[in-house]
Amino acid sequence: MSTASRPYPIVQDLIESFAAWLKHRREMNEMRRLDRSDFDRIASDLRIAPDDLEELVRHGHHAADELPKMLEQLGINAERLGQAQPLLLRDMERVCALCTQKRQCDRDLTEGTAAETYHGYCGNASTLESLDRADLAPH
């Protein structure tokens, strides 16, 4: 919906943000109600450490939004990477979601300089550098 077709875009954005926050709080409460053995089993099923799962839930479902943007700026097709190496992409999403350098990354992505600067702060830098970009370039 465009801003022109919404009568009160700022109010609508606030309502949507509050709804997303509320949903996240409910998810956190559901997670807290699990006993430790159930939670550990879920983490095991997902093949991640329980502490990482807890942190990922705490960060919310937008925690790795930077990764597709970074891949795009590096000329890597995220869909092709997911098809070729799904476990690698999932691990990269985990690393991105747990990253503490979001401000720097977001700034570089916005400025279009991430491809030149990510080496200094990105937890996925060595993985990104090891990818064969020719095989994963957009068609």
Predicted confidence band at 4 (pLDDT cuts at 50, 70, 90)?
Answer: low
CB neighbour burial string for 94-104, b if at least 16 within 10 angstroms, e if fewer: bbbbebeeeeb
Cα 122 from Cα 134, distance rounded (Å) = 21
* pLDDT tens by residue, 13-45: 777 776 777 776 777 777 777 788 888 888 888
Cα 31 from Cα 78, distance rounded (Å) = 29
0.85 exceeded by pTM: no
pLDDT of residue 57: 75
What are the distances in angstroms from CA 6 to CA 1, 2, 19? Answer: 7, 7, 18
What are the distances in angstroms from CA 2 to CA 5, 13, 17, 62, 109? Answer: 5, 12, 17, 22, 24
* pLDDT tens by residue, 66-101: 999 999 999 998 999 999 899 899 899 989 998 999
pLDDT of residue 62: 80
pLDDT of residue 138: 63
Cα 89 from Cα 12, distance rounded (Å) = 34
Cα 104 from Cα 94, distance rounded (Å) = 18
